[in-house]
Chain A
Amino acid sequence: KQEVTQIPAALSVPEGENLVLNCSFTDSAIYNLQWFRQDPGKGLTSLLLIQSSQREQTSGRLNASLDKSSGRSTLYIAASQPGDSATYLCAVRRDSGNTPLVFGKGTRLSVIA
Chain B
Amino acid sequence: GAVVSQHPSRVICKSGTSVKIECRSLDFQATTMFWYRQFPKQSLMLMATSNEGSKATYEQGVEKDKFLINHASLTLSTLTVTSAHPEDSSFYICSAREAGNSNEKLFFGSGTQLSVL
Stretch at the interface among B12-20, B42-50, B67-75, B79-87: B42-50
Contact call A43/B34, Cβ cutoff below 8 A: no
Nearest-CB distance from B7 to chain A (Å)? 12
Q: Please, which residues of chain B bring their CB within 8 A of the CB of A4?
A: 43
- Give the Cβ gap from B38 to chain A, nearest Cβ, in Å: 9
We find that the number of chain A residues with CB closer than 8 angstroms to chain B is 22
Contact count band on B: 20 to 34
SS class of chain B's interface: helix, strand, loop or mixed?
A: strand
Q: In the complex the two chains form, is A98's CB within 8 Å of B43's CB? A: no
**A42 touching B43, Cβ below 8 Å:** no
Do residues A44 and B51 form an inter-chain contact, with CB atoms below 8 A? Answer: no
Question: A26-51: contact bitstring with B at CB < 8 Å (1 yes, 0 no)?
Answer: 00000110000000011110100100
Q: Are B32 and A98 in contact (CB under 8 A)?
A: yes
Smallest CB gap from B48: residue in A: A100
Residues of A within 8 A of B28 (CB): none
CB pair A101 B43 closer than 8 Å: no
Which residues from chain A contact B36 at a C-beta distance below 8 Å? 100, 103
* Additional pairs, 17, CB under 8 Å, beyond known A46-B105, A97-B97: A43-B6, A43-B108, A43-B110, A43-B111, A44-B93, A44-B108, A44-B111, A89-B44, A96-B104, A97-B32, A98-B49, A98-B97, A100-B95, A101-B44, A103-B43, A103-B45, A104-B43
Q: Which residues of A contact B (CB under 8 A)?
A: 4, 31-32, 41-44, 46, 49, 89, 91, 93, 96-98, 100-106
